[in-house]
Each structure stands twice: as C-alpha cells, then as structure tokens.
A and B are shown apart, each in its own frame.
Chain A
Amino acid sequence: MSAVSDANQVLSEDVRREIDHWLAKFPPEGKRSAVIPALHVLQDSNGGYLTNALMDALAEYLDLPPVQIYEVATFYTMFDTKPVGRHKVNICTNISCMLMGSDEIVGHCEKKLGIRLGETTPDNRITLKVEEECLAACTGGPMMVVDGHYHTHLTPEKVDKILDELE
C-alpha cells in the first residue's frame, strides 16, 4: 500500500503509462520480461542514467525484489547506474573491430576528449563508455554507437567530425 504510493511519487504518470504499455505485452507471470524496457523508460526520463531510488520504485511498481532490478541494470552496458554526460559514445572493441584498428580509434577519442574509457568530459558533454560486447556491425569495423546511432568504417577524421557535432 505505502510501497505503491512511494513508487507513484518517484515515477511520473507518463513513465508509469509507458511501463504499463510494456507490461501489457507479457503474461502476468512473465512480468520480469518488462524489466529491460521499463529500465530504458526510466533511464531516458532521467538524463541517461538510473538511480537507486528509480530502481527501487520500479521494483515496487512491478512487485519484484529490488535485487532483480539491480541485476539487470548492472548486467547490461546499455544501462548506467552513475551520472553520465549528455552523449554516450560506445566504441566497439570486440574481435572484428579490434582487428580493424579499434585501439587507434579509442586512443584518438581519449586523447581528443582528455578522458579515459569509462569517464565523462568535465563539461558533461560526452561519456566514453566501456563496451563489453560486440555491437553486431562487424562488416563495418571499426565502428561505434553514439546515442543509439551506428557509425561504421571509422577513421580519426570521421570520429572528429561526429564528436564535434555533438552539442
């Protein structure tokens, strides 16, 4: 009772409506399937990252133990549990991209932005994410994903242009 009202305070009506939209796609016993889309909704509504309060509210809203939300949120690199910059840059460093020179791309970005992988620029503009897995664009390596958009066949010049265009 009190738990649900807490969730309602933390989760806005729009957010709840969007979560409900996803919940409706799964049978009640499979509501854990809605955790990933719901976390996306929450993350997008909160400047690109999740807070403990948001995850707890979601757990209450879905009537799941909070650890089951934390497990999902920490497992996937697409979720951030610490504050991030306005733009997320994921450079693929998996095998195909590595063979095509992703190290050079990473090095270039780090030098250009003055930060290491996993860090955010002091002006809060860009976060260079640590990408664990293959981003499934091996034919275009080296590649990176910027705010969900794929950029392939990267060169330092191409990277400069893409990064410079970010607000």
Chain B
Amino acid sequence: MSEQAEASNPDLVTIEVDGVEMQAPKGSMIIEATDKADVAVPRFCYHRKLSIAANCRMCLVDVEKAPKPLPACATPVAEGMKIRTRSERALKAQKGVMEFLLINHPLDCPICDQGGECELQDLALGYGRGVSRFSERKRVVKDENLGPLIATEMTRCIHCTRCVRFLDEVAGTSELGGMFRGEHTEISTFVGRGVHSEMSGNIIDLCPVGALTSKPYRFTARAWEMLSHASVSPHDSVGTNLQIHHVQGAIKRVVPRDNDAINECWIADRDRFAYQGLASDERLTEPMARIDGRWRAVSWDTALELTVDSLRATAAEQIGVLAGPQATLEEQYLLGRLLRGLGGKNIDSRLRQSDFSDQFERPAFPWLGLPLEALDTRDVTLVVGGLLRSEQPILNHRLRKAARAGGRVAYLNPMVQELTYEADQFAVAPEQLVPALAALVLAGAEAAGKSAPDGVVELADGQAIGETEKNLAAALVQAERGLVLLGSVAETHPQAATLRTLAAHLAELGNNPHGVVAEDAAAVGAWIAGALPHRQAGGRACDQAGLDATGMLREHLDTYVLFGTEPELDCHDSALALKALAQANSVIAVTPFVTDAMRDYASILLPASSFGETAGTLVNTEGRWQRFPGVAAPPGEARPGWKILRVLGNLLELDGFGYNAADEITDELEALSGGLSAAAMSAGSLASSMPAPVSEGLQRIGLVPLYSGDGLVRRAMALQQTDAARDVRARMHPDEAAAQGLADEHWVLLRQDGGDVRMPLVLDDAVPRGAVVVPAGVRETAGLGAQFGRIAVRKA
C-alpha cells in the first residue's frame, strides 16, 4: 500500500512523535499511537481494556503549542500534532508526578510480593530521585480482607483505580470504590463485604504496585527466579490462554496470556487458582493395587502387569472406558485406540450427558457456531439451558459486552442467574424446558410468517408464553446478527436431542447461527479423538457403536477403566455410577487423585499427571486446537497420561504405540482429522421426544457449582474457601417450600435412587416452582441419582 493512499484516509490523522511521523485513527489517544509505535510512555492508571481515568498523571507528554504537559492517555490526536515524550518539559513533568507518588508509598520493596515485577518500582528507577525530599510522615492505610484469593496491603496503593474500573466495567460487580478524598483516599469496599466476582483475580494483575497480590501465591517465589511457559486452561471449553510460572518444575502461579480472540487479557478465578489442587493431600503419587483385599503400593511394572492381566482376562465387550473432563486430545486418542485394539467398543467422555439419541446425526463435533470473538457483537442472543456465569465465565463476559453494546441477551433456564448485565431471563422447571423452547419456536415462526416445523406444536404442549417471550422470539428471527446457544444444562438434559433440534429450528427461522457450548475442556476433543462409542479418531463413524456412558453404567460391565475421573462426581447419575463400579470385577483408575470412594470401588490405581504436568492439546468450543507443553514434573511416581497409555499399548502388544513425544500423537491425529470441519447441527426432524417417566417427588435441578467442575478445582484450597464454593445448599422457591411444609434454613432430607443426603435449605425465588436445586459434582450429594430427575424432599 502506498503512503499516499494512507495519508488520504479520512479516518487517520498524521502526528509526529519524537520527530517520527506516524498515523493514528481520528479520536484515538496519544498513548495508543505511542504504544503502537513502541514509544515508551510511563503510566499507571491507563489500561487499554479499561475506561480512561487520567488520574495518575504519569503519562504527561509535551505537546507543541499546548501551554502545559498533557496526559497522553486522555489527549486525542489531532492533525499535525507534534508530541515529544522525552523532552525536558515532559521528563520534568513525569519526574514531578513520580515524586508525588512516592511521597506516601512505603519503601518496603524487599518485603513486598510485587518486588521485581512492580510497575512503580520499575518507573521509579527511571523517574524517581535518588533521595526523597519528603521528610514528613507517610500515611498508613488499614488493610481490608477481600476474601481468600486477594491479599491487600493498601498502604502501597497509588489510587490508579484500575481495580475499581475492572470490577465495574468488565466484571460488572462494582465491589470496590474510591472512598474518602484527597490524602485520605482509600480503595475499599467500605463495608467489608469482600470481592466475590468470578473474575476477581484479574485485579491482582492490574494492580501496578503491591497493594493487591495473590493470597495463595504470595511469598512463595520471586518474579525473577521463575520460568514462564504457555498453557491452556482445562476448566471449561473456552480454552483460556494461560502462562504458568514455575520454579524447577513446581508450579507457583498461573497468569493470563493475552489472546484477543479468546480470553483477551482476562482469566476466570478458577483458571488462575485451580493449580493449588495439584498439591492436594489426595494426590496419588505411587501405583497401588488391591492385593488380597488390601491396598498396597506397588512398582509401575507390577501395576502395569496387573492392568494388562485384568484387561486380557475380560471379554473386550465387557470393558467400559470413562474418560474425564480434563483429558487431553492425545490421551483421548490413545484411550480409544487402546480399547479398539483390544476389540472393545465401550468408551465415552460425555459423562454428564444423559440423552444420546441423536449421536449419529450430530456433526463432527459440538461447535459454538461462530468464533468466540463474534459473541461481542450479537444483536440478539438466546441461551438455552446455560448458566454461563458459572459454566464458562469468559463466555459470559463476552455476552456481557454484547449486552452493554446494546445487544439483547436472553436465557431460558431452569433457574434465574444472578447476572451483571441486563438480560431477559425465563426460568422453567427442567421438564418444562422442551415445551418452553417449542413455544418460542412457534412464536418465532409466527413472527417470521412461516409455518412451524412438524412436531413443534405437539412439543409445545399448549405451553403459554408471555409477551416478553413472544417479543424475544420476534426479535430473534428479525435480528441481523442473532444467535441461539445451548449451554451445559441443555447438553446434559434428559431431552438434550430435542432441545438441540428445536434450537436449530429457532435459529433457522431467522437464518441465524446456532451452536453448543461444550460442557467441559475435553468435550470437543472427545469427538475428534474418538473417545466416544460411535466415532473413531478423525470423526469417522464406528462400524458398530458401543455403549454410551449411561449404557455402560446400566449394563454393569465386568471391567471399567476410569481415566481422570471420579465418576460419583463427574457422571450424570452418581448413584448409578457407584452401583456399577461397586459390582464390577475390576476397576482400573488412571488418576491424579485418590479418594476413599475410589479405594472402595477400584482395584488398580495408576498415578497420572494433571494440569501443567503433561504436554497435550485441548480443543475449545470453537474447534480451535491449542497445544501446550508439559511444564511441571508430576509428583512422585505419577506419569503423564499419554505415557501411561503408550506403555499399556506396548504391553498389550498393540501396533503403533511407539510414540516418543506427545507431538507425534498430535500430528498423527491431526493428519487423520484433516477433513473435519466445524458444522452446526442441522435442523432435522423432531424425533418424538420421550417425556421423562414421571415419578414421585420434585424435579431436581442438578447444577454443577462454579468450583466443582473437575477434580483439580474441587481440591483448590483457596477457591474452596470462597463464598461461592462454601454455599452447598438446596434451593427452593418460597411458595414451593411452603407447600412442602419447609422453611428457610431447615435441614432437609433428599432421597433419590436409594441415595440419602441431608443439607440445609435456602429459599430463593430464582428457582421455579415444582423443582429444587440440588448441586451435583460435590461430595455432599454423591450417591444421589440423575442431575435432572425426580427427588424426594422432606424435613430432616
């Protein structure tokens, strides 16, 4: 492109920075232009993702014809503007600001956790004086307890307000504010409520000084002694980009890696703090086997020999493989090959799902329907069966951006979520989800002037819908950029297939995209790698499909192989899983963690790697492959999952298990998957949906809490101390409770499929009548039945 053409672009202006001519978009700020050109301008309060505050004054620059230095972050560029960032006037202004900032900042860098990676420390080196001219007393600010994740040392605060703006503008919780004034200004909640946002940890990164630091990490390492490696979060299907900081293979902390297409520069708290689970007391560090009814630590050789014997002694069709929510693509691929090499067919990764009736019609893999980035600019988005704020916080953040930009966001869910943006929320009991969605399709068809697809009228079952719903359906079919998304609740719902087809029809009425938010980090990979009963590696259909996850547990197989899962917590039906495992002849668990429950049902325990300890690949909900290296050494005798499977393949004398590195497996699978492309579910015919057999009791809404999705998060100490994790209670609408003769704070007895659980009840009008929220994925409710089934509730 010629310079001439650029110059005549009416949206650009030409400016001169330190004698170098450059172009910048009209209306942009000087600091954006200097950042783009790699001209260093010091700053504390400016952050490209936050609003402009211009309150630290550190970025003062010298602008020709301006009577005094101007803040680069808040001065728009203008045609012909001449800016000098290093002139005497600019430097004098910057040094002056630094002197003021240091007046009240303590000189405690040696004992400050931020030391060595502190923006103030760095800039003070360049702009500060050698000796302070200030001889009066420095102020002291009392610390506040913000919760188990963020440590405070508020005397160090320089009031840049990045944390305040982040919580207000990005997290949407507005939990911190600038209290008092002048020299007495304090960043605080004022009332001591703490900070509870699911993305709160980002304020640690944003804080330019050591006022806000990580509680779990602090004082465990210094910035300069750590190495940093890229990784990917295994806690949801977003594929959040991370940077792991470690000292000689011991993971010290996890921070975001910028990727504007996925997580921007933010990560959710569980991406940041879950690594703590690696050091859990329940970590399995040596192979173990049950010999003569007693658990013994054995050598790898013995353990593998026992495993091989056990697998060889079982008829292949009697082997069931359950792969967990954090399995890497490579592990899934080897698991599938191992089982199929033995002649087996029963393998599944969809542990939380319960409706597999449309599995043959489903596309190559569950797909979001559009790139993550495109979520920001949707006009109308309907999320069916998805509590995104706890399921995929980053995705929720993107929808929040869409809502803030004037887009309309709506949820059809089994309960109303607490959101930080305007959204239409329709809540119906789980069994009403299909009729309610069908009614929306009818309303959409009416608005589009089309006839409703066959079968929708029957599914709607006369479900009345309100004006808001009708209005939403009309807005959706008329939207230029509409979207229908199915969340984890929909994916795990007993009528998931019908929900998927209805969603496809609703989207098609307005020619909108639709998609599925995969329910965990391994969910998409399983389809590509062939860790499913009906698809082989590369997405090829199996000649004959094996049993799905529910089928395997119902059939009471002889041998189960558990890969990175605690089925009583990870499966849709905990009671069913425990029963199946208890009667099995042999249960081989390849697992990073061991629990008492596992010691009860397992026969061989093989210690495996967890987050950061293995090289691998995760495929996110957009279908994006992301490889990452193994960074840390697994503890004790534990080994990377793919290596364990490779050795097993060799010992079982299967062909093609001679891999030397995880990359070889990935490359092989990549070649196999060449023809796979992302596609949305087609709007097929509506199978006559089987209404769930109605039994006694209330409908259970078995939601997985924010910090209970996988074994690592469940063992992350600090996360488990948050209010969100500690609140393990049943929830019920006040009217429903009154009808059942129950009151707030009552202990209730929950009975489902032979499982009994006692827990406190809390009244909550976010829950629809006829249903009760009983969390799944937590130890308190292990042994109960299906996540979405009937449950008996009475006073304990």
Contacts and interface: CB of A to CB of B under 8 A. Distances in A.
B242 to A, nearest CB: 30
B256 to A, nearest CB: 25
A19 to B, nearest CB: 20
B191 A68 contact: no
B168 A71 contact: no
Contacts of A75: 179-181
Interface in A1-47: 1-2
B628 to A, nearest CB: 38
Contacts of A67: 174-177, 189-190
Contacts of B182: 132
B174 A74 contact: no
Interface in B155-197: 168, 173-182, 189-191
A2 B173 CA distance: 19
A70 interface: yes
Interface in A55-86: 65-68, 70-71, 74-76
Name which of A2, A67, A68, A70 has the most chain B CB atoms within 10 A of its CB.
Answer: A67
Contacts of A124: none
B756 interface: no
A52 interface: yes
A76 B182 CA distance: 11
B189 A74 contact: no
B55 to A, nearest CB: 14
B765 A65 contact: no
Contact of A70 (B168, B181, B191, B765): B191
B762 to A, nearest CB: 13
Nearest to A81: B190
Contacts of B175: 65, 67
23 contacts: A52-B191, A65-B174, A65-B175, A66-B174, A67-B174, A67-B175, A67-B177, A67-B189, A67-B190, A68-B174, A68-B177, A70-B179, A70-B190, A70-B191, A71-B178, A74-B179, A74-B180, A74-B181, A75-B179, A75-B180, A75-B181, A132-B181, A132-B182
A10 B174 CA distance: 23
B168 A65 contact: yes
B786 to A, nearest CB: 31
A71 B191 CA distance: 11
B195 to A, nearest CB: 11
A74 B190 contact: yes
B164 to A, nearest CB: 8
A71 B179 contact: yes
Interface string A102-128: 000000000000000000000000000
A68 B191 CA distance: 12
A1 B765 contact: yes
Given A67-B174, A74-B190, A76-B181, 18 more contacts: A1-B765, A2-B765, A65-B173, A65-B175, A67-B176, A67-B177, A67-B190, A70-B177, A70-B179, A70-B190, A70-B191, A71-B178, A71-B179, A74-B179, A74-B181, A75-B179, A75-B180, A75-B181
B615 to A, nearest CB: 44
A66 B182 CA distance: 21
A86 to B, nearest CB: 25
Interface in B462-503: none
Q: Which 3 A-B pairs have the closest CB atoms?
A: A65-B174, A67-B177, A70-B190
Contacts of A2: 765
Contacts of A132: 181-182
B518 to A, nearest CB: 33
Contacts of A76: 181
Given A52-B191, A132-B182, A71 B765 contact: no
A1 B734 CA distance: 14
A47 B552 CA distance: 70
A52 B765 CA distance: 25
Contact of A66 (B168, B180, B191, B765): B191
A70 B765 CA distance: 28
A70 B189 CA distance: 9
A2 B416 CA distance: 14
A106 B356 CA distance: 81
Name which of B176, B178, B190 has the most chain A CB atoms within 10 A of its CB.
Answer: B190
